[in-house]
Chain A
Amino acid sequence: MHVLTFTLLTLTGALVAGLVGALTGLGGGVILVPLLTLGFGVDIRYAIGASLVCVIATSSGAAAAFVKEGFTNIRIGMFLEIATTVGALLGTVVAAYVSSSTLAVIFGVVLLFSSVQAMRPREEHITLTAPGSLGDRLRLGSTYPVNGTLVSYGVEHVPAGFAMMFGAGMLSALLGIGSGVVKVLALDRAMHLPYKVSTTTSNFMIGVTAAASAGVYLHRGYIDPALALPVVLGVLAGAMLGARMLAAVRVKPLRILFTLIMVALAFEMLYQGLTKHI
């Protein structure tokens, strides 16, 4: 394929991934690697490198707005980024010893897990920090805006959340994804933060997590500028467009459709990995 044709095709694909990712809130990164490897035959290491760079772009762009609106808990983010960045560094070490086929299989499993999580109903809860607990000593509780007033919330099970974040960092580096699903799981289900705080703080942490492994992969030659070009610009344009369309689009059917696509991609990645085609 000629470079120009390839660039235009991947630009279109990345634009759709960014658009749907922003509209559904599921992130585009998780379908970008399957799109590049299954759809365009790109080696999975190049795909992971390009995807990581996209993840930084979309999370930073979205975080800019969320932080200003006061939803993001920057202290929890900062504290847990210790876990995600150490996990990410370890992930890059593991990635050096894992075959492409194994990566594809792990990717399939994570994709399947993410689609199951996407279908689960969300519940809003507010908890109080137990006095003397780790969350209290680290002053992790805060406030967030609900219908114009600031509501206080606390935090529980900090060590469990920290451990899950370590895993999220490792998966992020290994697969070139933001690991938003695992991060939200840690913040929402384990640490019992309000849902909106969980999703925005997760997004806030994704850029730093991805930067830790992107630095290593740059040195290893995983990041190809000619591939990064259409992928980064496409995903960014798609995400910006998605943010503008959000008010006008019925998100629920789109979310179901996107989840089904994730399931299909998951099985295809599993098949290709298990039969050693990747």
Chain B
Amino acid sequence: MSDAPIHDSHEDFALEQRLGNLLRAGVLLSAAVTLVGGIMYLVVHGGDITHYHVFSGEGAELRTVRGVVKGVMRGDSAAIIQLGVLLLIATPVARVFMSVLGFMKERDWLYVGCSLIVLAILVYSLSHGG
């Protein structure tokens, strides 16, 4: 393949910058949400006794995207922390989505395909669970 696109083309550089900015924004936003939810949580539950040595699993509401959003609407602090966690999990997913768009722009269909496969696996994991 001698006519293959040059790898570190200007367009790849632009994509790299966008991916970098997206990752940073995702982490900072998620940390901010977690911090806000965390302070609210500690004000109310700081005096409770911990239970982490026994595994009981989280309540149903904190296990799904819809449940977390519902909790956040009510102002539930645990749900706000969990929203921060969801934003963090969503950050790499958004990165893969942006890669799909970036490779499309470069008309690099092989890597559009690779990115779409990874995106499908991530969406499956987030929506179905196991």
Measured CB to CB, the residues of A under 8 A from B are 1-4, 6-7, 40-43, 45-46, 53, 56-57, 60-61, 63-65, 67-68, 70, 72, 74-75, 78-79, 81-82, 85-86, 88-89, 92-93, 96, 136-139, 141-143, 150, 207-208, 210-216, 218-230, 232-233, 236
Contact yes or no, A64 B81, CB < 8 A: no
Nearest 4 A-B pairs (CB), nearest first?
A: A219-B129, A221-B57, A215-B125, A225-B81
User: Which one of A6, A63, A88, A225 lies within 8 Å of B41 (CB-CB)?
Assistant: A225
Contact yes or no, A74 B15, CB < 8 A: yes
User: Which one of B30, B42, B122 lies within 8 Å of A212 (CB-CB)?
Assistant: B122
Contacts A63-B23, A216-B128, A221-B56 given; 20 further ones with Cβ under 8 A?
A: A3-B45, A4-B42, A4-B46, A4-B47, A53-B89, A60-B92, A60-B95, A65-B20, A67-B17, A139-B5, A215-B89, A216-B129, A218-B85, A219-B128, A225-B78, A228-B85, A229-B38, A229-B41, A232-B85, A233-B38
Given A42-B53, A43-B54, also A215-B129 (CB < 8 A): yes
Contact yes or no, A82 B125, CB < 8 A: no
Given A56-B92, A96-B130, A228-B34, also A85-B16 (CB < 8 A): no
User: Which one of B56, B89, B129 lies within 8 Å of A211 (CB-CB)?
Assistant: B89
Question: Within the assembled complex, what's the spacing in Å between the Cα atoms of A255 and B62?
Answer: 38
Interface of A is mostly: helix
Q: Is B105 an interface residue (CB 8 A)?
A: no
Given A4-B42, A221-B58, also A92-B130 (CB < 8 A): yes
22 A-B pairs in the complex with CB atoms less than 8 angstroms apart: A2-B48, A3-B45, A4-B47, A6-B50, A60-B27, A63-B20, A63-B23, A67-B19, A139-B5, A143-B8, A208-B93, A211-B89, A211-B126, A218-B63, A221-B63, A224-B58, A225-B62, A229-B34, A229-B38, A233-B34, A233-B35, A233-B38
The chain B residue sitting closest to A7, CB to CB, is B42
Contact yes or no, A64 B20, CB < 8 A: yes
Contact yes or no, A226 B81, CB < 8 A: yes
